[in-house]
């Protein structure tokens, strides 16, 4: 009987301790199609599907094949972009997120067609703090004030005067909030994504005074910009003519020869600090043309980081780090959400003749971006 007794055969059990019927039952379980809701179930459904599961309004999401191997925390962040990651982690910790009907494994990765239940009504999930703060107007910081003048630190993301759509009133719409009852007037502009020194005149007489100063080029401005590439010349004057771009409304082109509609423009550019792939520039515009600094830097082959209208690219950590690996399912976010251009200093004679010089500190977002460029750029230069 080859080691099998008659009694063992009759009972269906072998001398190895496992019965034939046991093996058949295990094979049947393995071959049986699992019902939806059982652990390990693979639902043949692509894409995301959010629907109420019960009276508690549980949300159900299905993992698509394209996100195989994604971490649960990253999948939740992708599925609920308006919810803060910290809130989603709290839901996991409180057992309000389950995977295939089971508590999720710590740092576990998801498989295609796994289904995730979020046992909280969507209406009860708080909005992302960062998204909420973007919609709120930031406080206007006064850098300097005299009897005739106010210099503020304009935040990035706000227009100086109302745009063509009328959706944003900008700094102009906040003048009464800044100094109720005073006749504040804007005498020059900064682009939406440019931060820093902005002059406001108190009354019509002061406004006329600044109109005369700008016309006679007696207002001295200094900007800082992070540009792509290594700038070879430590100091140079950029004098390309500037004119309207016929293909893009509101945008500007540079030219080296005279053309109809083009005007003279001059910018003094100095290298403040050089990095492996970028250069921190100090810029002094001698004229005040629209987008002058941005177009002049593009014209010499060194566009401003993040200035996509004029050849700039987003600042990405993958470009700075030699070894960089992005987790499955995530899209790399730029280190900076705007272009790197800041109006750092401004100097002018006030209405009473007193010489005024004001400086705006580098905003936190630009400081962080510059720190990344400096740290990783220095490491690259050491290796080269």
Taking the C-alpha atoms of residue 73 and residue 327, their distance in angstroms, rounded to an integer, is 11
Taking the C-alpha atoms of residue 23 and residue 256, their distance in angstroms, rounded to an integer, is 85
Taking the C-alpha atoms of residue 261 and residue 244, their distance in angstroms, rounded to an integer, is 7
Contacts of 198 (CB under 8 A, 6+ apart): 151, 152, 153, 154, 160, 171, 186, 188, 190, 343
Whether 191 is a known active-site residue: answer: yes
**Which of 74, 191, 193, 307 does the annotation list as catalytic?**
191
The secondary structure element, H or E, covering residue 177 is: helix 175-178
Q: What residue has token string 């500007």?
A: 252
Largest CA distance in the chain: 118
Contacts of 193 (CB under 8 A, 6+ apart): 156, 157, 306, 338, 339, 341
Instruction: Tell me if residue 368 falls in helix, strand or coil.
Output: helix
Is 69:325 a contact under the CB 8 Å cutoff? no
> Can you state the angle between helices 72-79 and 85-93, rounded to 10 degrees?
130
Active-site residue list? 191
């Amino acid at each position: 009987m080859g080691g099998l007794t008659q009694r063992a055969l009759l009972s269906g059990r072998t001398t190895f301790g496992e019965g034939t019927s046991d093996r058949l039952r295990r094979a049947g379980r393995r071959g049986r199609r699992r019902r939806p809701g059982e652990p390990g179930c693979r639902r043949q459904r692509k894409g995301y599907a959010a629907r109420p599961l019960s009276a508690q309004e549980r949300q159900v999401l299905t993992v698509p094949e394209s996100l195989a191997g994604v971490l649960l925390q990253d999948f939740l962040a992708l599925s609920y972009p308006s919810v803060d990651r910290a809130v989603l982690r709290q839901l996991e910790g409180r057992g309000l997120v389950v995977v295939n009907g089971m508590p999720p494994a710590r740092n576990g990765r998801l498989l295609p067609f796994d289904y995730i239940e979020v046992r909280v009504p969507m209406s009860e999930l708080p909005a992302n703090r960062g998204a909420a703060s973007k919609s709120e107007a930031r406080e206007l910081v006064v850098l300097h004030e005299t009897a005739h003048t106010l210099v503020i630190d304009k935040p990035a993301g706000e227009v100086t005067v109302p745009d063509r759509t009328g959706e944003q009133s900008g700094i102009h719409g906040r003048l009464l909030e800044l100094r109720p009852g005073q006749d504040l007037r804007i005498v020059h502009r900064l682009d939406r994504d440019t931060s820093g020194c902005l002059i406001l005149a108190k009354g019509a007489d002061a406004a006329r005074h600044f109109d005369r100063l700008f016309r006679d080029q007696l207002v001295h401005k200094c900007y800082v910009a992070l540009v792509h590439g290594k700038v070879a010349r430590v100091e140079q004057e950029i004098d390309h003519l500037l004119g309207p771009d016929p293909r893009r409304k509101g945008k500007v082109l540079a030219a080296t020869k005279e053309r109809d509609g083009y005007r003279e423009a001059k910018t003094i550019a100095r290298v403040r600090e050089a990095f492996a792939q970028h250069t921190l520039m100090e810029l002094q515009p001698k004229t005040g043309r629209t987008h002058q600094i941005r177009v002049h830097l593009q014209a010499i082959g060194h566009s401003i980081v993040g200035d996509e209208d004029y050849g700039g690219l987003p600042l990405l950590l993958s470009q700075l780090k030699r070894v960089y690996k992005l987790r499955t399912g995530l899209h790399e976010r730029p280190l900076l959400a705007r272009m790197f251009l800041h109006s750092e200093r401004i100097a002018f004679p006030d209405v009473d003749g007193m010489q005024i010089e004001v400086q705006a500190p580098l905003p936190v977002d630009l400081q962080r971006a510059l720190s990344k460029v400096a740290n990783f750029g220095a490491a690259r230069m050491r290796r080269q």
